Chain A
Amino acid sequence: AQTVTQSQPEMSVQEAETVTLSCTYDTSESDYYLFWYKQPPSRQMILVIRQEAYKQQNATENRFSVNFQKAAKSFSLKISDSQLGDAAMYFCAYRSAVVWGSQGNLIFGKGTKLSVKP
């Protein structure tokens, strides 16, 4: 079974600085998708960025980028020029690319709470 581990329960960053959130996963599959979701105090789960495992190029969305290391099974999220609105819980998630049986769901890490200091 696949697992996702976020080893940093809490992180803090100064406004305008850069922060990196860590995520590792365990799988025997070669094709899969990885996601970072943001959950602000409103509870809404919002997609931040996605990565297809077959793509070597790291995904980027404005101030958000990932460092995807497939061999190391690592998928970290970098937030540049941090803003107060980035304060939230961040969840790393895995989904198999083979959607049969019980493989259609997202498997989540426990989350990292990010605080942004003004």
Chain B
Amino acid sequence: DAGVIQSPRHEVTEMGQEVTLRCKPISGHDYLFWYRQTMMRGLELLIYFNNNVPIDDSGMPEDRFSAKMPNASFSTLKIQPSEPRDSAVYFCASWNGQTMNTEAFFGQGTRLTVV
């Protein structure tokens, strides 16, 4: 397996524009997580899915953020409209919840810059 694949790796957009981040988890993993990393706040969980169903979205900052997982192999995180304070690295991670003692695998992240 190629691991967790995120796209794009870098995104620069203007304030007010819509941004869509994409993630392909590892095949067979039933959990998918979206994290945001900033210098000030570190790694924060935004939302996670189990079997394509959102389980906990309490970390989503506000209504401008939305996430979907239409099938087991694809998820999106959308920001609309984007603001400069959304600038961060966004990570997607997947995990096989059937094997409790294993780790979550991370994608390489998307560095988002909103100008």
Contact = CB atoms under 8 A, between A and B. Distances in A.
Interface of A: 33, 35, 37, 42-45, 47, 50, 52, 91, 97, 99, 101-102, 104-111
Interface of B: 31, 33, 42-43, 45, 48, 50, 55-56, 58, 89, 91, 93, 95, 97, 100-101, 103-104, 106, 108-109, 111
A101 B106 contact: no
Contacts of A97: 100
Given A45-B91, A99-B97, A101-B56, A106 B104 contact: yes
Contact of A101 (B55, B95, B101, B111): B55
Contacts, number: 49
Given A99-B97, A101-B56, A105-B33, A43 B109 contact: yes
**A-B pairs with lowest CB-CB distance, top 10:** A45-B106, A102-B56, A108-B43, A110-B42, A47-B103, A43-B109, A105-B45, A105-B48, A44-B108, A104-B31
